[in-house]
Amino acid sequence: MIDFTIPPDLAEIQSRVAAFVRDRVLPIEPEVDESNFDQHLSRLQGAGREDGLWNPHLPPEWGGLGLGALGMALVSQELGASGLASLALNCMAPDEGNMHLLLHAATAGQQERYLRPLADGATRSCFAMTERDVGSSDPSQLRTSAKEDGDLWVLNGEKWFISGANGAAFAIVVARTEDGGPDADPRTQFTLFLVDADNPGWRVVREIPVMGTHGPGGHCEVRLDDCRVGPEAMLGERGAGLKLAQVRLGPARLAHAMRWIGTAQRALDIATERALGREAFGKQLIRHEAVAWMLADSAIELYAARLMVLHSAWKIDEGMEFRQEVSMVKVHVAEALGRVVDRAIQICGSLGYSSDLPLEGYYRDARAARIYDGPSEVHRMVIARNLANAMLGEGTTKPATGGLA
């Protein structure tokens, strides 16, 4: 029998997180701006600790709740209702993904130096992979290099749109360490390095102006000019950089989708409340078919998004192959988010277009969802390739469409 019941322990944590967002985060959200952001965030983080919700994604020995992917899917859907909420519980990108990667690949010494302050909320970090002058969706094109110079490594290159870089204590940098020629396997050509922000060879050039919300540290242009690091800075094995990057990015894509569901749910709530409370042409907006159908379409897309996310998270927890499902989730939820928010703005009219509601901010942020952590087009290429492989190997595409029944 297929059981869709949420385990009682996870249901309890989900309920507590929902209450935290409702009672602690949303009431102060309208007051928060650039001038008081740090002060408000510090108070929320204190409240998150008090409520026993700090670091839901980390094991207990690192001060966390030890939730797996399924538990985080449930929690992050609640946190997605506000951009402040995940930050308040110390489980927001890029730090969340970096913490997972450090748990997976770092030595004990690296964990104490870099993971411990992240887990304590004492520092921030960034992940420096993408570059402006190459199509970074094809990581084999990345140009940042790391060359051996005696016992040291010397890193040179430019990084682009590095979220959280301004003010981060350190970066995890993807750099080319091998020159294997055009026929070499790109999966063995790159290595990860831990670079401290006070390294004289690391420089944040600027925060790139963007159409969406500015999170802590912005989205930055970074230069590495003869950036020298010791052998202890290598994260994981030499040549395993792209493999480790996928260890981080696969679950991170799902984490984004989890939060987007929370955002879309709040947008639908706002739109439905407006449709119930507003009248036009002698009846509630929700009684007009055009409006009712927009709400219904959003509900359908949210239902599908939730099932896709929960199934993918379950596969991760069960140790099953999940990359095809996560690619489908990334495409569907990113695009559904944009449609749900767009409908909500339409239903709320001029109020939705104004900054009196959070919808206009959601709309700007939703546009980026189809680009970062792999644009929709690249994930569709991956999905189609896996369909072809399934058809050739098993005579049906069914295994590459979730394989549910």
The CATH H-level (homologous superfamily) assignment of domain 8-106 is Acyl-CoA dehydrogenase/oxidase, N-terminal domain (1.10.540.10)
Q: Cα(157)–Cα(128) distance, rounded to whole angstroms?
A: 11
Same fold? 8-106, 243-401: no
Q: Cα(340)–Cα(336) distance, rounded to whole angstroms?
A: 6
CATH number of 243-401: 1.20.140.10
Contacting residues for 257 by C-beta, under 8 A, at least 6 apart? 305, 308, 309, 329, 330, 333, 334
Task: Read off the amino acid at residue 391.
Answer: M
Q: Cα(214)–Cα(90) distance, rounded to whole angstroms?
A: 17
Tell me the pLDDT tens digit for each residue of 274-298: 999 999 999 999 999 999 999 999 9
- Quote the pTM value: 0.94
Q: What is the average per-residue pLDDT within 226-244? A: 96
pLDDT for residue 213: 86
Tell me the pLDDT tens digit for each residue of 30-52: 999 989 999 999 999 999 999 99
Phi/psi zone of residue 203: left (φ > 0), alpha (ψ -120 to 50 degrees), beta?
beta
CB 101 within 8 A of CB 43: no
94 cis-preceded (ω within 30 degrees of 0): yes
CB 270 within 8 A of CB 344: yes
Give the pLDDT band (50/70/90) at residue 181.
Answer: low
Give the pLDDT band (50/70/90) at residue 176.
Answer: very high
pLDDT for residue 187: 80
Q: Evaluate if residue 182 carries a pLDDT over 70.
A: no
Give the pLDDT band (50/70/90) at residue 2.
Answer: confident
Q: What is the average per-residue pLDDT within 330-346? A: 98
Q: Evaluate if residue 1 carries a pLDDT over 60.
A: no
Q: Which residues pair with 126 in a beta bridge?
A: 171
Tokens 């402006």 correspond to 132
Architecture of the domain defined by 125-235: Beta Barrel (2.40)
Q: Cα(242)–Cα(262) distance, rounded to whole angstroms?
A: 30
Tell me the pLDDT tens digit for each residue of 89-112: 999 999 999 999 999 999 999 999
Q: Evaluate if residue 26 carries a pLDDT over 70.
A: yes
Percent of the chain residues past pLDDT 70, beyond the cut? 99
Contacting residues for 388 by C-beta, under 8 A, at least 6 apart? none
Domain ranges of the chain: 8-106, 125-235, 243-401
More confident residue, 160 or 1: 160
Residue 114: name the closest of 56, 72, 62 by CA.
62
Q: How many secondary structure helices (H) and strands (E) does the chain include?
A: 13, 10
